[in-house]
Amino acid sequence: MTARPPGRIALVDYGAGNLRSVENALRQVGADVVVTHDPEAVRKADRVVVPGQGSMPECAEAMRRSGVADALLEAIRRGTPVLGICVGLQILFEEGEEAGGAKGLGLLPGRIAKLPAGQKLPHIGWSPLRRTASAAPLFAPMDGEYAYFAHSYAAPADAPGVALTTTHGIPYCAALAKDNLYAVQFHPEKSQKVGLALLERFVHV
């Protein structure tokens, strides 16, 4: 993977929590970050990070309402590297079960489903990561490492571009990579050295 200068990173602010900790983590690895809800800033950025803490329906709707959803789609089509975090992964899919049903951005086929009954939900804490045979270079170094999760819904283990899986009752997608689109179900900003190393790789991908 050839390292490229990070350029300007748009950190999308659409009302989700945990924004500042993601901003701080990106700055810690040398990124030039602008926190924004302006679609034009998203279109012009060299990279985009979509954080997420909250519900998939609310986050997806907030992005559509602000115009950021359309700007994000344009950036992805243009080849801009994009990283989705937690709900930022979930909203990439067509639909989800949360709150009686939610429409995602439809960038990836499939459905975000609730983790199985009988497990403690939300799943909060550290879980081990397992790489898939086709794991993208961005995620391959994380095989066997632990990352911090906080969620009740997840993408299936056979999601498009799945690069890392973990298990909470059932195996599910912990990270995926499809062309210039990357996403993680865990929180790199809370995953200490492992998470910071991932963000550093992303800002040079």
Q: Give the tens place of pLDDT for each residue, 97-137.
A: 988 888 999 999 999 999 998 999 999 999 999 999 999 99
Q: Which of 80, 67, 59 is nearest to 40 (CA)?
A: 67
- In the block, tokens 């992005």 appear at 63
Q: What is the pLDDT of residue 101?
A: 84
Q: How confident is the model at residue 55 (pLDDT cuts 50, 70, 90)?
A: confident
- Using the CB atoms, write b or e for 96-133: b if 16+ within 10 Å: bebeeebebbebbebbbbebeeeeeeebeeebebbbbe
Choice among 86, 123, 145, 168 that is catalytic: 86
Q: What is the pLDDT of residue 54?
A: 79
Catalytic status, residue 151: no
Choice among 23, 98, 145, 189 that is catalytic: 189
Catalytic status, residue 59: no
Catalytic status, residue 187: yes
Q: What is the pLDDT of residue 59?
A: 86
- Mean pLDDT value of segment 161-173: 97
Choice among 168, 173, 187, 200 that is catalytic: 187
Q: Where is pLDDT greater, at 100 or 159?
A: 159
Q: Give the tens place of pLDDT for each residue, 73-85.
A: 999 999 999 999 9
Q: Which pTM does this prediction carry?
A: 0.95
Q: What is the mean pLDDT of the chain?
A: 93
